Structure 1
């Protein structure tokens, strides 16, 4: 029997709102292996890093990309600790269709692959690969471009997904939905 997995995705108005929902999710036993974020890379990245306790720790992803000759354009930071301090790794790079972004969590490897692979579909392709319908993925991309922050949470059951969706609603997440995650 195949195990069903889900993702819950929603847009937060700004980084402070995203940080708040991530803190709530972490208190509810979700960890950085389940939570992803994608946001425009604005000049206040250092402010977010400071408020969330991030440390500069370039390390493995950039080194690995360099070894492969990928030139992801990772900023001089890769940040650890969570939406830096909240999530394990936070990387800054340019994503086709969106421009400069910061991203963290399990979706990060999908997006850095999209940043490198021609025709990989950028953010839209990464989200479709997660089970998000193309129309919703386009919508999320447009709102990220306008400054919203996308938070994506992986869950194991429909009940868990509904619980996360309820938390998103309680934090005024926009366009929050549950999707069945595609097998990887």
Structure 2
């Protein structure tokens, strides 16, 4: 019995003396990871870029879906064509202003680690440009035939749907980068 107690005490004493030594490599590794994480941080320019581009894509997404929803409610404005036209022109004007803001950042302004995200952003903005032009032609040109109007409306809906894929790719790339850079 005395041997068991002595052995147990010896083991406990050995653990209390060696445990801090055993923790040192883990602590050193944690400090190295923390230092690496500090190195892998976004710069102010990169944070500004991400915020600006994300905000613009969000505006474009909400404005285009708002126009789609409003266009689908056109039957409710059957007797109020002027009111529908005025509201649609106002929505289209706001959408076009956001589109112009979207083209402010030129490729030379893009931080290096965000080039892939910018490529997706550019594709999304191009689709919005096609959608805006199609809607403007449908809405503002009086000399269009019904077939031409249908063609432009179809082009608008196609471009609006096509906007979703690159916009989602942009969001996914930013999320991927956020896991690396804090």
Larger radius of gyration: 2
The structure, 1 or 2, with the larger RCO (C-alpha pairs under 8 Å, 6+ apart) is: 1
Q: What TM-score, normalized to structure 2?
A: 0.24
Query: Of Structure 1 and Structure 2, which has the larger fraction of its residues in strand?
Result: 1
Q: What TM-score, normalized to structure 1?
A: 0.24
Query: Of Structure 1 and Structure 2, which has the larger fraction of its residues in helix?
Result: 2
